[in-house]
Amino acid sequence: MNSVKAVVIFLSLLFVSSVFAQSFKPGSEPTGFRNIKWGTELVTFPGMEFYKTATPGGSYPVGEWDSAREVYLDIYLRIEDKLRIEGTEVKRIDYGFWKGKLCEVTITTKGFENWASLKKGILRRFGKGKVVRFPSYGLLGVEGLGETQWHVWLGKITEMELLYDGSSQIGELWMGSTVLREQLFKEEQRQ
């Protein structure tokens, strides 16, 4: 029975890794945000203002949702931040720090036109990633005919997700450090 479980787990991991393998356009995987590498210490950032404490963004690895609820990041806003990404005006840029190190960034847009412009720039720069299509059940807005597209990029250095909620007209581009997220989930599971 244990060998059957091992085979099922192996095949599941193989499937998941093949679905998301090489999801960044070759040579485009970022190592951080705006030339600031993941893991950079908060004290080296000028003009940061504490905003809130929150759980990590992005999707959680299978089986880690419960422990993720116990993980918290310190979210900062950068005073005088340039609120333009890929030529698009954005509402806010949240910088997430775990143990004082840059772990993730969430870029928020307001309105479909701003989000569509951001999406166009992101897809041009990084490729389309993997597109997950699913019916809209009221939690997420409709893009097209009754479904929402959720773009996902998984790399060795960076994970990214791009999503739009039509009901609130809020779009988000989330970027996070693959390595730091792995460390924080492992540490929380040990505790």
Q: How far is C-alpha 62 from the chain's CA centre?
A: 16
Residue 112 near residue 169, CB atoms below 8 Å: yes
**Residue 35 pLDDT:** 87
Please give the structure tokens belonging to residue 43.
Answer: 């004290």
How far, in Å, are 12, 68, 119, 169, 175 from residue 140 at the CA level?
A: 27, 22, 16, 10, 20
Higher-scoring residue by pLDDT: 27, 69: 27
Q: If you average pLDDT over every residue of the chain, what do you get?
A: 79
Confidence (pLDDT) at 10: 34
Mean local confidence (pLDDT), 98-107: 96
Q: Contact 74/50 with Cβ under 8 angstroms?
A: yes
Model confidence, pTM: 0.79
Give 105's strand partners: 95, 175
Measured CA to CA, the distance from residue 167 to residue 136 in angstroms comes to 11
pLDDT of residue 19: 47
Q: pLDDT of 110-169, one tens digit each?
A: 988 998 899 999 999 999 888 876 554 444 444 443 445 688 999 999 999 998 877 788
